[in-house]
Structure 1
Amino acid sequence: MQYDWDEKPELNITPLVDVMLVLLAILMVIAPNIVYEELINLPQGSAIKQISKVSPVHITIDKDRNIKVNKNSFEYRTFADNFMQFSQTLKGKPTVTISADKSLDYGVVMSIIAAVKQAGFSEISLATNG
């Protein structure tokens, strides 16, 4: 028996494709039913402590440097000390919103922000029109 070197064998991949399609169909049917559950231990919450809403602090500065904190009036020169005392009467650390006149210098507004930060407030926002 002599081997013909010019003969090129043909690969029949039809059975391979059939087997792969059957496996794919089985996987598609079973996959949605697989449930993975990991048990974790959650910390216990306290049902005693009630969450109370802290009202925000509104600071308004007009063009003559008159400062109003909520309904209290403060002078610009002594604002840092007076606001420090005022902040000690507040419960918690509320958010602070500052509304300043457009004609004020940048340094005036920044000094008010610095005084508010020194009093321990971290959530400070500037109000704008629009």
Structure 2
Amino acid sequence: MKNTRNNDLSDRRTAAAEAKFALLNAYRAARTADEPARLARQAERVSIAAAREERRLERERIKRDEAERQAAEAAERQAAADAAARAETEAREAAETNRIARVLEDEAARKAERDRRYANRKARRA
């Protein structure tokens, strides 16, 4: 069946305005009805963001602690290496000093033996 009603421009404009108004009212009603759910979703998003931030801070703290631990271990290794190098140097110097002292003692003993032999030879001649 054809629409036999004669729609004038003013009728169409009125119908369009009423339709827009009805859509606007439906939107407002849906928005006010959905307000608690929207607030709940927003609160959930805020809590998720806070938890995410907390996890990020925890990861940063763990990374910082790990970096500090590695730096401390590196410092300990460096200190141990320095102490070992110092001990090796001191041992080498002590060995060199001992060798020089032994050489001097041997030289003094050879001199003393030579002087004793010389004194004995002089004593036999006299």
User: What TM-score, normalized by structure 2, do the two folds share?
Assistant: 0.29
Indicate the structure (1 or 2) with the bigger Cα radius of gyration. 2
User: More relative contact order in 1 or in 2 (CA 8 Å, sep 6+)?
Assistant: 1
User: What TM-score, normalized by structure 1, do the two folds share?
Assistant: 0.29
